Amino acid sequence: MSDRAGDVLLVGTRKGLWILRADDERSSWTVSEPQLLGHIVHHAVLDPRDRRTLLLSDRTGHLGPTVFRSTDLGTTWTEASRPPAFTTGDPHGRSVKGVFWLAPGHADEPGAWYAGGSPQGLFRTEDSGDTWAPVSGWNDHPLWSKWAEWPIEGTPDGSMLHSVIVDPRDPSHLYIALSGGGVFESTDAGSDWLPLNQGLAADFLPDPDAEYGHDPHCVRLHPLAPDRLYQQNHCGIYRMERDEGKWQRIGDNMPRDVGDIGFPIELHPRDPDTAWVFPMDGTDVWPRTSPDGRPAVYATHDAGVSWTRHDRGLPDRAWFTVKRQAMAVDESDPVGVYFGTTSGEVWASRDEGASWTSIATHLPEIYAVEHAAPADL
């Protein structure tokens, strides 16, 4: 018997979680009944280390934020006994309004996860999400309020910490991203941090060479080339070779009439030169819908030197918005690519983005799409 239950998508929405399950060919998908209906689910992630522990960030219109855990793919849920929270008596008066991002820790630290919050706190668990503690080196950093623009919180739905990345070679080497605030790096397990924003545009800041204050939308590190980072930023698409220490705007190579504005960026699991983005309109008043109402995924296979448009199967006209956690890839060959829209549709490609099929419609506003390959339960 296979120990693999097949491909699953965890679809977090403004009104609960839906689980999509594929057949062996990924050609047919079944959509679950809603789980935690009415709950705001910013992120749901299956632990790739044990392929059983599923964490879900949760709040509701009324109730405060928490984290739910499941080890049976959502059949039953257990709430964290100590959810992510700032220290009582916090000098900034901060309280977690929402857990925005969940990230499993290093492979050598089973049970370790990070959570990024709104406002922009960082939290860590070492017991698979049951009890969480603040990462003091970040939350209490003397420059935190400057870096996090506290208490302005200019981002429309509140500032958020996201894209928590653990270097696969070194559990003490971390990256995080703030919207707004920029990318930050720690080489000592989060005790101290430095901005990592050289080369990024920030057309909303007076200083073109600002050290921080940028708006990364999604940052990814390639596990097979861990000195390479990709970023979909508010102001474009970037790549950094870490030894160079400077972001290069690879989005300049996108077609001018499409531009390089968007939220998610996803990487090929085996080819560090391949990435996918979902461009959105960043002109005029920034509609951030598919440019000219013609949705397409763009792929690069040469680390951003050139881009290829993929729209086969997508509607001729549609004004899709795809949020930063709402695009995902699987590990199959060829790779499956997925995205979810704020209009509640999930689209899938099982040929690395070349053609697309709708696999779910009429869901609530989609915040997150994560691929999972759960162990057979």
| Min separation Cβ 373 and other proteins, Å | 30
Nearest CB to other proteins, comparing residues 86 and 278: 86
Residue 81 Cβ vs other proteins, minimum distance, rounded to whole Å: 6
Q: Which is nearer to other proteins, 12 or 216 (CB)?
A: 12
Nearer to other proteins, 120 or 163 (CB): 120
CB of 37 to other proteins, least distance (A): 12
Q: Is 137 helix (H, G, I), strand (E, B) or coil?
A: helix
Residue of the chain from 37, 48, 64, 209 that contacts other proteins (CB under 8 A): 64
Contact track, other proteins, 9-48, x by CB under 8 A: ----------------------------------------
76 to 105: interface string for other proteins, x by CB under 8 A: ---xxx-x-xxxxxx--xxxx---------
The residue (of 62 and 256) whose beta carbon lies closer to other proteins is 62
CB of 72 to other proteins, least distance (A): 18
Size of the site for other proteins (CB under 8 A): 20
Q: Rounded to an integer, what distance in angstroms lies between the CA atom of residue 69 and that of residue 80?
A: 7
Among residues 189, 193, 214, which one has the least CA distance to residue 203?
214
Q: Across 160-292, where does the E strand assignment appear?
A: 160-166, 174-179, 182-186, 194-195, 216-222, 225-233, 236-241, 248-249, 265-267, 275-277
| Nearer residue to other proteins within complex by CB, 160 or 174 | 160
Q: Cα-Cα-Cα-Cα dihedral of 344, 268, 22, 34, to 10°?
A: -30
Considering only the C-alpha atoms of the chain, give the largest distance between any 2 of them, rounded to a whole number of Å: 61
Stretch that binds other proteins, among 54-62, 203-211, 263-271, 316-324 (CB under 8 A): 54-62
Beta bridge partners of 134: 123
Q: Specify whether the CB–CB gap between 202 and 210 falls below 8 A.
A: yes
C-alpha to C-alpha distance for 44 and 23, rounded to whole angstroms = 21
The residue from 2, 61, 206, 207 that contacts other proteins (CB under 8 A) is 61
Question: Closest separation between CB of residue 133 and other proteins, Å?
Answer: 12
3-class DSSP assignment, residue 251: helix
Structure token pair of residue 221: 């590190």
Residue 46 Cβ, how far from other proteins at the closest point, in Å?
A: 23
> What's the min distance (Å) between Cβ of 74 and other proteins?
16
Token pair belonging to 272: 């560090």
Q: Which residue lies nearer to other proteins by CB, 94 or 310?
A: 94
Q: How far is the CB of 199 from other proteins (least distance, A)?
A: 37
Burial 54-78 (b: 16+ CB within 10 A, else e): bbbbbbeeeeebbbbbbbebbeebe
Closest CA to 65 of 17, 113, 111, 115: 115
Q: Which is nearer to other proteins, 134 or 374 (CB)?
A: 134
CB nearer other proteins, residue 63 or residue 194: 63
Q: Provide the Cα torsion 301, 303, 309, 312; round to 10°.
A: 40
241 Cβ partners below 8 Å, 6+ apart?
227, 228
Residues in contact with other proteins by the rule CB under 8 A: 60-64, 66, 79-81, 83, 85-90, 93-96
